[in-house]
Amino acid sequence: MPVGTVGTVKAITKHHLIETKPQIILGNTYHLYLRPGMEVLKHFNGLHNFMNWNKPILTDSGGFQVFSLAKGKEKTGKHKAEVVLTDDGVKFRSHIDGSWHYFTPELVIEIQEIIGSDIMMPLDVCPPYPVSKTTALDAVKKTIDWLKRSKNAKRQNHQALFGIIQGSTYKDLRKESALMTVELDMDGYSIGGLSVGEPAEYMYEMTEIVVEYIPKRKPRYLMGVGTPENIIESVDRGVDMFDCVMPTRNARNGTLFTHRGRLNINAGKHKFSDEPIDEECDCYTCKNFSRGYIRHLYNAGEITAMILGTIHNLRFYNKMMEDIRKAISESRFSSFKNEFLEKLKSD
């Protein structure tokens, strides 16, 4: 899921975004609540209409942002975000203007109802890594309590609600959280609290523990992940859905993904290259421009560079997911995985 935090996927137009063939995009409740705000989204009858997007939208609850932004200042903001966690919800200070707000599970569902999300995430507690077991257990308990309240809150009939499984890197807490969440019979299940700084081995281990308890008929969503390698390995462990800012953020910084590993387009060796970014890619950028030209745009600080890089990275990710689905349907995922990962190391 390409990440469109505030109602747009960064550095790409809707036309080119659609050409990268995403099935769904992601927005963020915290950011949309603060800006443009609920009055604006009500006026425009929801986010789909506001941004003229007729495909599905998943919205994160904003819980992760509330806690992560409390650690420091947003790059363009003047205010340090602060957070106060209670049994009933979370009080936080806006990173934009310093104003105080209070999220409860019910309010977060109400906000997402106004947004018109096709898939909602409930308010949860996402602890950092590393964290004590006591803190991780408290996060599990609050997340479950808030999920029960979220499930009882009013939402539109078409809006699916996922449960979020927490537990940090503690095996017994992950199992306990998974069992309690699945017992509530949600529309789908999210694996949260990973990709927050822990080693990849821990992420894979916790994922394996959790998916064992999630019904196969329900979608499994690993939140905030990740690199092509992370995605391939997690699919192998039973995960269906992913989101990450990596393809768009890296594109803006000149790091482009290819079937033979990451490409630093700013490197001098590409100055005279007439090759496309990736010969196996069918995106607009690769079909029309050389590495040498794209490198020139990045070095000149042209906005077009970020647009072309973003088009490529998003198409690379979406094509990878298409290839994964095709390999699974043809019962050859294992060989596909090995070939894909081996090729990434080849350059």
Handedness of CA 79, 84, 85, 89 (dihedral sign): negative
**Is the pLDDT assigned to residue 333 strictly greater than 70?**
yes
- Asked if residue 6 is part of any domain, the answer here is no
Which one of the listed residues 124, 243, 282, 347 is annotated catalytic?
243
What is the DSSP track for 247-316? HHHHHHTTEEEETTEEEETTSGGGTT--S-S-TT--SHHHHH--HHHHHHHHHTT-HHHHHHHHHHHHHH
| Alpha carbons 88 and 149: distance in angstroms, whole number | 10
**Is the pLDDT assigned to residue 266 strictly greater than 70?**
yes
The stretch 11-35 carries a mean pLDDT of 97
The pLDDT of residue 38 is 98
Same domain, 253 and 238: no
**Is the pLDDT assigned to residue 35 strictly greater than 70?**
yes
Contacts of 288 (CB under 8 A, 6+ apart): none
Give the residue carrying structure tokens 């050409």.
Answer: 19
Contacts of 255 (CB under 8 A, 6+ apart): 262, 263, 264, 265
Q: How far is CA 215 from CA 119, 153, 210, in A?
A: 18, 24, 11
| Alpha carbons 121 and 166: distance in angstroms, whole number | 13
Q: How many residues can be counted in the chain? A: 347
* pLDDT tens digits, 136-150: 999 999 999 999 999
Q: What is the residue type of 31?
A: H
Same domain, 265 and 127: no
| Domain boundary pick from 199, 228, 244 | 244
228-236 and 303-329 helices cross at what angle (nearest 10)? 20
- Asked if residue 55 is part of any domain, the answer here is yes
- The CATH number of the domain holding residue 99 is 3.20.20.105
CA atoms within 13 A on the CB side of 319: 17
| Alpha carbons 117 and 109: distance in angstroms, whole number | 10
199: helix, coil or strand? coil
Q: Which of 75 and 287 is assigned the larger pLDDT?
A: 287
Same domain, 196 and 320: no
- Among 284, 291, 243, 338, smallest CA distance to 27 is for 243
| Alpha carbons 343 and 347: distance in angstroms, whole number | 8
- Among 96, 95, 97, 88, smallest CA distance to 123 is for 88
- Asked if residue 42 is part of any domain, the answer here is yes
The stretch 93-114 carries a mean pLDDT of 96
- Asked if residue 49 is part of any domain, the answer here is yes
CB-CB neighbours of 63 under 10 Å: 26
Contact (CB, 8 A) for 32 and 327: no
**Is the pLDDT assigned to residue 74 strictly greater than 90?**
no
The pLDDT of residue 62 is 85
pLDDT band at 80 (very low <50, low <70, confident <90, very high): low
pLDDT band at 70 (very low <50, low <70, confident <90, very high): low
Same domain, 122 and 195: yes
Q: How many domains does the chain have?
A: 2
| Alpha carbons 182 and 186: distance in angstroms, whole number | 7
Same domain, 26 and 139: yes
The pLDDT of residue 73 is 47
Same domain, 156 and 232: yes
Same domain, 309 and 203: no
- Asked if residue 7 is part of any domain, the answer here is no
Same domain, 168 and 286: no
| Domain boundary pick from 197, 215, 244 | 244
Same domain, 58 and 122: yes
Same domain, 25 and 172: yes
The stretch 319-346 carries a mean pLDDT of 96
Contact (CB, 8 A) for 201 and 233: no
Q: Which of 63 and 118 is assigned the larger pLDDT?
A: 118
- Asked if residue 4 is part of any domain, the answer here is no
Q: What is the residue type of 328?
A: I
* pLDDT tens digits, 235-264: 999 999 999 999 999 999 999 999 999 999
Same domain, 142 and 47: yes
243 carries an active-site annotation = yes
| Alpha carbons 308 and 297: distance in angstroms, whole number | 10
- Asked if residue 8 is part of any domain, the answer here is no
| Alpha carbons 39 and 33: distance in angstroms, whole number | 9
The pLDDT of residue 335 is 98
Q: Which of 74 and 81 is assigned the larger pLDDT?
A: 81
The pLDDT of residue 25 is 98
Same domain, 234 and 273: no
Buried b (16+ CB within 10 A) or exposed e, 65-77: bbbebbeeeeeee
* pLDDT tens digits, 167-191: 999 999 999 999 999 999 999 999 9
| Domain boundary pick from 190, 215, 244 | 244
Q: Which of 82 and 250 is assigned the larger pLDDT?
A: 250
60 carries an active-site annotation = yes
Which domain covers residue 308, as residue numbers? 249-344
What mean pLDDT is reported for the chain? Answer: 95
